[in-house]
Amino acid sequence: MEDQAVCCYRHPQRETGISCTRCERPICPECMISASVGFHCPECVSGRVSAGSGASAAGPPPGAARPRTVAGGTITSDPRLITKILLAVNIAIWLAVLSAGDRLVNDLDLVGRAYDPGAGQIVGVAEGQWWRLVTSVFLHQQLMHIAFNMLSLWWIGGPLEAALGRARFIVLYLLSGLGGSALSYLLAAQNQPSLGASGAIFGLLGATAVLMRRLNYDMRPVIALLALNLLFTFTWSGIAWQAHVGGLVVGTVVAYGMVHAPREKRALVQRGTCALMLLAIVAVVWIRTMQLTG
C-alpha cells in the first residue's frame, strides 16, 4: 500500500515535506516561519496552540519576533498582493497600448539603437533612453503574449511571494526583468525591438527551482517546466531568447542568496546578492552602450 501524501494542516490541498519543529504538524511554504532550528507554524509562533496538540501553550515571550517567511519576510494577510499589483500594471499598460497604438510601443519597447521614422530621430538605450530597460518588461502587444505571461505570473508568483515576502519578491521580479533586458541589449541586434515580461517570468521559474530544492521538494515538475519553456525559447521564431536566459540566470542567483542566507547574516547576504546582480546588469548595459556609441 502506497504512503498517503502529507499535506499542510492549514492548506489541505498542498503537499509538503516540512513539519513544524514544535508541534510536528506539516506546513507549506506559505505557513512556515524560520526558527533557529527548522521551521515553526504560525500558531506555535503566536502561542495559540493548545497543550493537547503536542506543543507548549505558553508561546513565545512578549516582544518575540514577528512571524517570518523562509527568506525572512513578514507573514502578511494577503500573500499575493504584489502579484496582483504586477498583474494590474501589466494589464493597464496593455490596454493603453490597444488605445494608443504603435506610437506608445515605439516609445517604451527595448531597442539598442535605431532610427524611428515616426519620431524622425535615432532612439534607443544607447541614446540615453534608459527607461526602455524597465518599461519593456511591462509592455505587451499580442493577446496571447500577455495572457501566457500573466497566467504564469499568477501561478508562479503567488507561492513565491508567500515564501519570500513582499519586498524580496518585488526585488526578485524587477532584477529578473532587468537581467533579461540587459542580456537582450547586449546580444540582440541593435535595431531589433523586444518587449514582454518573459524575462521576469523566467526569473521566477529559476527562483521556484531554488526554493523547492531548499525545501527538499520533488524537483521533477519544475525541471520539466523549465526544460519545456527553454525548448520553446530556442525552437520558436520571434522569441527573444536573450531575455529568457538573462532573467533565468539573475532570478536563480538572487533567489539562492535569499533562501540560503544564514539567519545571523541574512540581511547582509541578501542585500549583497541583489547589489551584485544590479552591478552586473549596469556593467552589461555600460559595455553595450560603449560598443554602440564608441
Catalytic residues: 198, 244
Q: Which residues pair with 122 in a beta bridge?
A: 115
Which letter does DSSP use for residue 11 in this model?
-
Judge whether 246 and 140 are in contact, CB under 8 Å. no
The three-state DSSP-derived secondary structure of 167-228 is HHHHHHHHHHHHHHHHHHHHHCCCCCCECCCHHHHHHHHHHHHHHHHHCCCCCHHHHHHHHH
- Alpha-carbon distance of 258 to 104, in angstroms, equals 36
Q: Which among 30, 3, 28 has a CA at the least distance from the CA of 17?
A: 28
Compute the distance between CA of residue 42 and CA of residue 25 in angstroms, rounded to an integer.
11
Q: What are phi and psi of 145, to 5 degrees?
A: -65, -50
The position carrying cell 494590474 is 88
| Of the candidates 206, 101, 98, the residue with the CA atom closest to the CA atom of residue 152 | 206
Task: Check the CA dihedral 52-69-150-98 and report its sign.
Answer: positive
Phi, psi (5° rounding) for residue 19? -125, 150
